[in-house]
Structure 1
């Protein structure tokens, strides 16, 4: 591969990794002059890549969308990740993606080197996906709009229907998408509430990227924030329970999306979970089969006492 070809491929990789690059930034990354960058940009355009250039504050080079999808530049690790993701997407939670994922996977498999194909097969052959209750699938357009907005720090407006059926309009600063396998969530800063929140993508309507951008705030950890939100906030009762067993033992009995667990010393942990029915929650809490004590709230404590009395009577 010639030095020029190698540099053009590096330029393509840079343009795919970030929304906008100035000529000076690209020249520094490639170790060439800005004039050389302009020539390489023209070579990419001749190959069918729509590279847009704009002047002024915030301007620079940007890889745009074309009439047809030109070849993508993928590293070996990226190619394996894409192939594995496409296999999983065939039965995933995004509407209409299954058939498209299989077609894309077949095209990628044709050009993938044998050693990478073997890595993908190894992951697939040693992975089992548990079937779960169906949920409302996410519109792929919504998913892609939000993914781009998170990447580019772009303001978003959307309608939203909460768990109680209340419809509102939201102005958001989107930060990160989180999936539990069955559902997709967005961590965002709500400009009207002036606070962080998590939103289910299947409850969002008329999602619009507004074109204006924001300066990123210091955001909470997306996975932890969403996990706490979906394990407690939608429910009437939120229980805190101390288990007299290590965190690793208790965690095996619960879905990570339904509870949060924190170590409380080497041989104990604190679990937080939500429910609308305290009595049904008791059966759920007993799953680990180890000693535990409900710390709060009183309604769940009373439900444990009632369940214990019934079991004692059942034992004779």
Structure 2
């Protein structure tokens, strides 16, 4: 039988995993008697854990909400998820919340077991977010840790990308891991294309071992946030952005617009109005892309976008005038 302290921690860990536990199930999982389960539950209560008794044939237990926050236990995956969430919060929230997130992150790092501390220390995530209701793409925690470790160690990565199994593996120098719009991305120098590329992590299948170490390169512009914003506003190529970019106000909620906006910036103005910055290869095509949202539009700039809306309106009016008049159906008896 494990020592009392280890047994209490194991019992607490089980109680945190689901709402209700029967006494028999806890005894079986811990390989102890029902009497020992009852004694250990009483010890946890003395330590401040609000454990309620549940009526039943062999009794049951539930870890309830209390008036104070007692110490908590996390498994490895939970620790990784919490570290990522706090790191994002510390860099995106404002004021006291960002400071509190940073303190919580430091607290967690200090108590992590050594097998996990070194891996999580390498986890450095930049959040470049916008309003979205899209569910997050699933990404394995070990994948994020492995990529982040390669970024920190300046080790080349090889991976298969996408669904084409016949394509050769991509050879890259990884530089940053970012999260944006519910997705995870790797910013890396593509050795075969001799240029910067952005890869979705959920489409990557890593190959081992990692490649040789490399000397870090400098991103265009030198700032990861500015670089990423330029990539996603533009054509997807790190060398520049769309030649035509404009900003409008739409009479739609930001969440609605963000749901149908892949490459653009959506900012909430009021609950029913938002600001949209979008790019395209020409001004008329940009006006047409904005018109598809089917809402009242106010152009903030530039004037080329306003002229493009007028040009598009004339073109559509001419097209409608050329359309043949539909023949009415014959009368029916």
Is the TM value for this pair above 0.5? no
TM-score (norm 1): 0.40
TM, length-normalised to structure 2: 0.38
**Which has the higher Rg, Structure 1 or Structure 2?**
2
